[in-house]
Structure 1
Amino acid sequence: MGQSRSPLGVADLERVAARGWPAPEEEPLGGWLLRAGGGFTGRANTALVTGDPGLPLPEAADAVVRWYRARGLRPGAALPGVQARAAGAVLAAAGWERSEDVLVLTAPLVPAGGADVELAPAPADDWLALYRPDADPAGARAVLTGGGRTVFAAVRPEPGAPPVAVARGVVTGDWLGVSALTVAEEHRRRGLAGTVMAALSRWGAAQGAHWVYLQVSASNTPARELYRRAGHVEHHRYHYRWAPEAP
């Protein structure tokens, strides 16, 4: 493609990722995006802090608190890159707890060969059981299937058997987003993550994507090494802050 760095800045890529992992309820607060998804994942249940909220930052923080408390959710904010530092400082001063960093990695999309992988338009029950066995299936599906062009990959040791590796792909414009990559513990270090990634890359390219992004926790060293070997580079980082519990 002639370039290896993402053509999008932090705020634009975060908006692409938000469209690919949409919450059932969303509402703008100036340039911020309030998202509520019944508590399923931080990405679908935090305010995405990009741009100007149209209010002084302390007032914007108060508005976030009111919006989430009204929905029975703990107020949270996703703070990507240096552009969110001012808002993060205000939240820190108000006692909001900080999570660990999450790395957003990007790479040009290069379709890869590999073994056949089951691709489905919706997550089966056993797909969800491997990815998030603690999640409410209806709430999880509302988020997972809401991103437009989505696909759910699964590796099964034999037809009809429970999957031993799963992942989700979504195409938004030129971008393939990869998420929910999970390999059963007893099947790790066998190349299954790479097999699933290759299948999603072929699918994404067929859908017209030219770039891929994904998120990985800073503490997940094995996954970071896997993605590094696959050519992904760090685009930016984000973290969450969570408001103090209501008295």
Structure 2
Amino acid sequence: MKLTVLGCYGPYPKAGGACSGYLIEDENTKILIDCGNGVLSKLLTICNDLNKLDAIILSHLHPDHMSDLMVLRYAIYIKQMLGRMERSIPLYLPANPQEDYERIQYNGVFTRNIIHDATEININNMRITFRKTNHPIECYAMAFEKNGKKFVYSGDTKYFDGLIDFIRGSNLFLCEANILHKDLTDNVPHLSAKQASEIALNANVKRMILTHFLPDINTLDIANEAKEVFPYILEMAEEGKCYFI
């Protein structure tokens, strides 16, 4: 499997950057994970033919993870009108908040599929499972498995022990690290770099990419905090960079 980072910032992008968005693919599958602000433009630079997109999965319906979906639906619709696309794109997402879920549909461009805790789907022999996280709205971590390899994306979350078991056995863990631990309060619905590292270490994960950075934060500080806990392969997500699993 190959992971391409399209956007790695939240809850808003830095200048020229994008919010959460990732493309996971293998030799015959392309799946877009999240579609925050700025992601569509980044996606089209590497996948200009939307017919090649097998599915879209949204971890949750906060704008920094789905706002560009509202523009992507126009692109799909226009291509359908011009006869360049004949199918709708499968979209997997939570059903809540309901008002956000309802307004996503547009002229049938998506085939919506609601995800729940422990939902399991199969796309071109790629097995995908979900685990509800600890976030103010319904949100899911997701695991992708194929050919004996496992990749897990944390989605957005505060610390919770259930994530440790969910990521166990991962070859690559893509985890949000939105803040430094010294700045963490009960009102912050995200993981610190220290917490992300503790989760990975306790799950015996040997390779982790941190993501979902505040645009004004120094990612070197995030990396240094994580390295104090996590002694294995650690990288900071970079837009446009590919990672192989």
The TM-score with structure 1 as length reference comes to: 0.34
When Rg is computed on C-alpha atoms for both structures, the one with the higher figure is 1
Greater fraction helix: 1
Bigger relative CO (Cα 8 Å, ≥ 6 apart): 1
